[in-house]
């Protein structure tokens, strides 16, 4: 498919990359091997979304709750994330030619200094790009994100920089990790689960959801097309009639 095969494209797509563990279990492999396949799917779908003309896409790579997993699995995910960062750095010119801006959303506390350094470098080196905004959520939690925004607003109120009556929806939005990016139009969750799992809570206030039983490592460009076709048919009323 190409972007022109769709009458309307979502401006912002959010993807919960779920089902890596089950995919591995079905094959008698370790959970980490499931994440290796999941990381390949992430690369393919990220690239495809950009080719279709999706302007903003956010992938959920690691949640604030995922630290509760076995240490070996956490290390494997961080390692795969590091591999991706190094690859993105090696392919910087290629990514810049495609107009890709990289952002990493989530709490940097808890992430290694080395990974944080690479994330800062990549964000800086792609900050002038605006064709495709590729966001990766790492150590991310929607409730934590809103809590941080509230803390920063409270600090400004305390310092006399902001009056409580001047706080608007935009004041809060500007302090979220996604900053000035548009709200989520379409949220994709494979693997049969039908929950939001603390992902982009504020930004998904009016998001359309698309679920499927396919496990993330088996998710293909055709599934992504299917989600976009379903989105095309939705009648979005935003609380109106």
Binding site for ligand FPP (CB under 6 A): 17-22, 35, 38-39, 42, 59, 61, 66, 77, 80-81, 84, 136, 191
Return the residue nearest ligand FPP (CB atom).
21
Q: Which is nearer to ligand FPP, 35 or 55 (CB)?
A: 35
Q: Which is nearer to ligand FPP, 22 or 234 (CB)?
A: 22
Task: Give 9's contacts (C-beta < 8 A, 6+ positions apart).
Answer: 3, 52, 53, 54, 228
Q: Which is nearer to ligand FPP, 121 or 171 (CB)?
A: 121
Query: What are residue 57's DSSP bridge partners?
Result: 13, 134
CB of 232 to ligand FPP, least distance (A): 27
Q: Which residues are catalytic?
A: 18, 66
- Cα(71)–Cα(32) distance, integer angstroms: 11
CB of 8 to ligand FPP, least distance (A): 28
Length of the chain in terms of residues written? 241
- Cα(182)–Cα(23) distance, integer angstroms: 33
CB of 234 to ligand FPP, least distance (A): 26
Using an 8 Å Cβ cutoff, are 62 and 139 in contact? yes
């Amino acid at each position: 498919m190409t972007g022109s095969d769709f009458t309307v494209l979502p401006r912002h797509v959010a993807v919960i990359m779920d089902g890596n563990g089950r995919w591995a279990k079905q094959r008698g492999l370790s959970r980490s091997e499931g994440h290796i396949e999941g990381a390949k799917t992430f690369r393919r779908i990220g690239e495809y979304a950009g080719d279709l003309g999706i302007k903003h896409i956010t992938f959920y790579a690691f949640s604030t709750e995922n630290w509760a997993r076995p240490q070996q699995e956490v290390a494997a995910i961080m390692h795969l994330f590091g591999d991706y960062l190094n690859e993105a750095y090696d392919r910087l010119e290629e990514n810049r030619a495609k107009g890709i801006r990289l952002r990493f959303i989530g709490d940097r506390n808890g992430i290694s200094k080395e990974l944080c350094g690479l994330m800062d470098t990549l964000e800086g080196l792609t900050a002038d790009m605006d064709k495709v905004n590729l966001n990766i959520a790492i150590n991310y939690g929607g409730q934590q994100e809103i809590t941080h925004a509230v803390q920063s607003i409270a600090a400004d109120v305390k310092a006399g920089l902001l009056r409580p009556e001047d706080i608007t929806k935009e004041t809060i939005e500007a302090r979220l990790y996604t900053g000035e990016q548009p709200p989520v139009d379409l949220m994709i969750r494979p693997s049969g689960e039908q929950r939001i799992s603390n992902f982009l809570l504020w930004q998904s206030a009016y998001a359309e959801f698309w679920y499927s039983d396919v496990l993330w490592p088996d998710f293909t460009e055709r599934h992504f097309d299917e989600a976009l076709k379903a989105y095309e048919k939705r009648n979005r009323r935003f609380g109106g009639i």
